[in-house]
């Protein structure tokens, strides 16, 4: 039996160290140990290394919350899973006792733990997980796709709230990893009129490659002017996958009467000044989303039209994780997949 494994550990003060750590041990009968097959670097992983220590990442934990693995060990009371099965992981562990958990709002749990942020995550060779956090996936789906189930679960929850239809005119702010994933999901939903706001020529190319109909380079163009030139109307649905206050201020002027504005990107320091009357006079709906719809995501990654491989720009080993982080920080990469078993 292994005694140690390699893992990327958050040390606090923005330090991430790849080192030997103890092999996980099952501590209750409902836990399992996964051999981590693939993990994805999220934008929040970058933020966690730059914010003041203790904001939401716990020093000493194994980093990484977007991952999948193969079951190698199971507690004696685990049911419905088998050794050798590959599973997707929901990193948010609900407490089951708070108001949110007891009123069917568990994704907003006040006392949740979170793999890769407050508890050990998936940037490691093996991971200890609870059975309630696992989802069955088709064995035929590549691990690099299954590792993206968590961000797709966030997007599927957002789409459920946004209710897009093929005839909608949709404006999407953001062409990073999440924005490009949104494009793929919206195309599966049959959206025919999609403008994407991107920043820089590289992101513009990536957005077009993922299926955007029109891409606005924010460094050179105005979203409003492009919309006037290309569309007969304003947007029926605006999705902010960035989280800047200025985007919301612009969005209320770019959305049709009875249109929907969806806030997905999160920046807790962002501020916006908007007269409340605009929402009443034009019956505009404003909705923030934070939850995850894993069952819908598991179904979505089975769809061959999703094509998440279009988003992957780099595939690296665990030992190269700093290289991957730097690429994303410099916006030289989109989706970076880590393979902890790769030497």
Cα separation, 250 vs 224, in Å, equals 9
Average pLDDT over residues 247-265: 96
Using DSSP, state whether 1 is helix, strand or coil: coil
Lowest mean pLDDT among 5-9, 184-188, 241-245, 284-288: 241-245
* 94 neighbors 112 (Cβ within 8 angstroms): yes
pLDDT value of residue 291: 93
Angle at 342 between CA 340 and CA 343, to 5 degrees: 115
pLDDT value of residue 267: 83
pTM exceeds 0.85: yes
Angle at 66 between CA 29 and CA 127, to 5 degrees: 35
pLDDT value of residue 266: 86
| Domain 153-288 in CATH 3.40.50.300 | no
Q: List, for residues 31-85, the tens digit of each pLDDT value.
A: 999 999 999 999 889 888 876 654 578 889 999 999 999 999 999 999 999 999 9
pLDDT value of residue 55: 56
Fold designation for 4-148+311-339: Quinone Oxidoreductase; Chain A, domain 1 (3.90.180)
Q: Which residue from 181, 161, 167 is spatially nearest to 236, judged by alpha carbons?
A: 167
- Identify the residue whose tokens are 């050179």: 220
Strand partners, 149: none
Cα separation, 159 vs 188, in Å, equals 11
Token representation of residue 180: 């490009």
- Identify the residue whose tokens are 């209320």: 252
pLDDT value of residue 51: 66
Looking at every residue in the chain, the average pLDDT score rounds to: 95
Domain residue extents for the chain: 4-148+311-339, 153-288
Q: Is 1's pLDDT higher than 80?
A: no
Angle in degrees, 0-180, between the axes of helices 223-230 and 245-254, rounded to the nearest 10: 30
Q: Are strands 92-93 and 113-114 parallel, antiparallel or unpaired?
A: antiparallel
Segments of the chain assigned E as strands? 4-12, 15-22, 31-40, 66-74, 86-89, 92-93, 113-114, 126-130, 134-136, 169-173, 193-198, 214-217, 235-240, 255-263, 285-288, 312-317, 335-339
């Amino acid at each position: 039996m292994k005694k140690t494994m390699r893992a990327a550990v958050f040390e606090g003060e923005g330090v991430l160290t790849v080192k030997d750590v103890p092999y996980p041990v099952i501590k209750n009968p409902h836990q399992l140990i996964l051999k981590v097959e693939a993990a994805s670097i999220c934008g929040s992983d970058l933020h966690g290394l730059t914010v003041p220590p203790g904001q939401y990442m716990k020093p000493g934990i194994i980093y990484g919350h977007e991952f999948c693995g193969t079951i190698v060990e199971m507690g004696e009371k685990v049911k419905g899973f088998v050794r050798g099965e590959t599973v997707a992981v929901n990193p948010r562990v609900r407490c089951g006792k708070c108001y949110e958990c007891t009123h069917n709002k568990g994704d907003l749990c006040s006392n949740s733990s979170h793999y890769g942020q407050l508890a050990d995550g998936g940037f490691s060779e093996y991971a200890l997980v609870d059975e309630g956090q696992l989802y069955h996936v088709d064995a035929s789906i590549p691990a690099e796709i299954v590792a993206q189930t968590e961000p797709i679960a966030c997007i599927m929850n957002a789409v459920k709230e946004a209710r897009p239809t093929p005839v909608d005119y949709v404006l999407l702010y953001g062409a990073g990893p999440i924005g490009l994933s949104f494009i793929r999901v919206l195309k599966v939903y049959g959206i025919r009129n999609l403008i994407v706001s991107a920043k820089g020529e590289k992101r513009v190319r990536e957005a077009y490659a993922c299926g955007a109909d029109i891409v606005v380079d924010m460094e050179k163009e105005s979203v409003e002017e492009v919309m006037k030139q290309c569309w007969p109307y304003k947007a029926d649905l605006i999705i902010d996958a960035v989280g800047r206050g200025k985007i919301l201020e612009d969005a209320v002027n770019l959305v049709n009467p009875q249109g929907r504005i969806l806030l997905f990107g999160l920046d807790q320091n962002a501020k916006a000044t908007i007269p409340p009357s605009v929402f009443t006079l034009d019956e505009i709906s404003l909705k923030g989303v934070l939850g995850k719809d894993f069952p819908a995501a598991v179904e979505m990654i089975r769809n061959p039209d999703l094509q998440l491989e279009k988003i992957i720009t780099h595939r690296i080993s665990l030992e190269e994780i700093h290289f991957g982080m730097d690429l994303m920080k410099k916006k030289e990469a989109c989706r970076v997949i880590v393979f902890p078993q790769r030497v």
